[in-house]
Amino acid sequence: MFRLASLMSALFITSVQAAPVVLSNINGYGFDANRQLQPFSVLVFDDSTGKVLARGDAALAAQYTQAMQRDGKGKTVLPGLIDGHGHVLGLGQYLAVAELRGSNSEQDAVNRVAKFAEANKDAQWIIGRGWNQVLWPTKQFPTTALLDEAVNDKPVYLERVDAHAGWANSKALALAGITKDSIDPPGGEIIRDSKGKPTGVLIDNAMALVEQHIPPADEIAKRRALNVAFSHLLALGITSVHDAGVDTDTVKLFQQLAAEQKLPLRIYPMLSARDPQLPQWLEAGIIDDPTDFLDIRSVKIYGDGALGSRGAALIDPYSDQPSQKGLLVTQPDKLTQIMQLTIDAGFQTNVHAIGDLANRLALDRFEQLVPEDKRASSRHRIEHAQIVSPKDIPRFAKLHVLPAMQAVHATSDKNMAGDRLGVARLRGAYAWRSFVDQGSIIVGGSDFPVELANVFHGLHASVTRQSQDNQPEGGWLPEQKLSLTEAMRSFTVDAAYGAFQETSMGTLAPGSWADFILIDRDIFNIPPQQLWQTEVEQTWVNGKQVFTK
């Protein structure tokens, strides 16, 4: 299976004569070798090799009078957007289940489930995702009661918006054998009522108790879901994704699609540390695809849970629930073992860490396990780096660990983060400016489908620290705002850096891949509050147009 990538690479490389295309009359923005913003009005690329040949002004276009000419009609052109942390198969599957995002109460969520069940009577299970009790009037976790009233003849399982908690009806709990006498698994919690009875909500590793009973999708269903996700992402101008935590079956499917030339955007998969075949992948070594459609050289390790479900592992107790400090999804000894394994194999090691304890544990191990002379070149990452002790933030720069952060998490979490953490710990929360000022390169992402897969929402959150209704006034923790150029870097050249790809994408510099988008406004000359409204009109990958509005 490991040879498919090299076969795929051969299919993409051709020796045909260069066929320049000149895209002129554009308002282009790219980056130079120093990551500085570079405007241009003409872009020249080769649609056979997929590479940028040159960029400049009208004088450049005059040098290519025999080339194919395209009129950009004054549109703004940006490098193809890179989402540095998403879940591609999960997105495709999410788009086919009950949509609970934005539900304004437990009853509203249940009503949506009932409507979905009515429309999908042949489904063995009713699956949904996106609920968030923090946005409901009670702010309390839901229970089986209302869910059982709506659907009691088949199992129902609904993932929380962050995928770190699940909500099941009684039928699903019964199939899983979850009772009053069930024991919480390590790194997980079965939420119970005052009498010890399971309420239907499962946190982190306890979710597997139900999930293992859900019939797995076959290859046909997975291909269908991936194609739905690809189309969705390309329509949003996303030309490359760092897929955070992928099992062997899904990686093999990516390889098959690439070999068939049916992979329309670039995927940088992080192999899941939970996959039984991880040792074989590590032994086979890095797969460096010359076309950059499928570079395989990283591993995703799971440190803790999420803040909204109180699964993020904290050094001190939760301010709004002093009996809890969160959950370590991977216990410390096991974390050391897996990190040692991946680091020794020469793979980039990317640790999910949201709470300040999980971040500290990951940093401690990077300091212990990575030789000092290999820290910069290894580009190991902490995924999320969401709540970090202020004294641990400088350690990212010292250890050359990249923070892979999702700006939209801050604007989604701002209404509950203070309750969970208290005022003092917010100093190290969603601290983008603190990281940038010390020289850390932020790998920007969205964590779709936890959040919407729209980079312009992330740019808006980065620059304003506000929700889309411009709240709070002046921004939440505004001292951590980024400039638009800094934010744009995090979703282009800096995200590419996080995948060892900064010389080939994210800049639109000569020699890089001709991955670019045309959008409906000049984002560098509009009020920042309008950034999230930006729409993509065309998406190009490898010099080929793959989406038009």
Q: Give mean pLDDT in consecutive 10-residue pieces for the chain, a chain of 549 residues.
A: 36 51 98 97 96 96 91 98 98 92 96 94 92 94 97 96 95 97 96 96 97 92 94 98 98 97 97 98 97 98 95 97 96 98 98 98 98 98 98 98 97 94 96 98 96 97 96 97 98 98 98 98 98 98 97
For the record, the structure tokens of 354 come out as: 């949201």
What's the pLDDT at 18?
56
Report the distance separating Cα 66 and Cα 86, nearest Å: 42
* Distance between CA atoms of residues 509 and 489, nearest Å: 14
Cβ within 8 Å of residue 469, ≥6 positions away: none
Please tell me the predicted confidence (pLDDT) of residue 19: 72
Check residue 123 and give its pLDDT: 86
Residues pairing with 99 in the sheet: 129
Q: How far apart, in whole angstroms, are the C-alpha atoms of residue 191 and residue 184?
A: 9
| pLDDT reported for residue 179 | 96
This prediction has a pTM of 0.87
Q: Which pLDDT does position 16 carry in this prediction?
A: 43
Q: Which residues contact 70 (CB under 8 A, 6 or more apart)?
A: 21, 22, 23, 24
Q: Which residues pair with 294 in a beta bridge?
A: 267
As given in the structure block, the two tokens for residue 184 are 């919480």
If DSSP codes are grouped into helix, strand and coil, which group holds residue 248? helix
Per-residue pLDDT at 122? 85
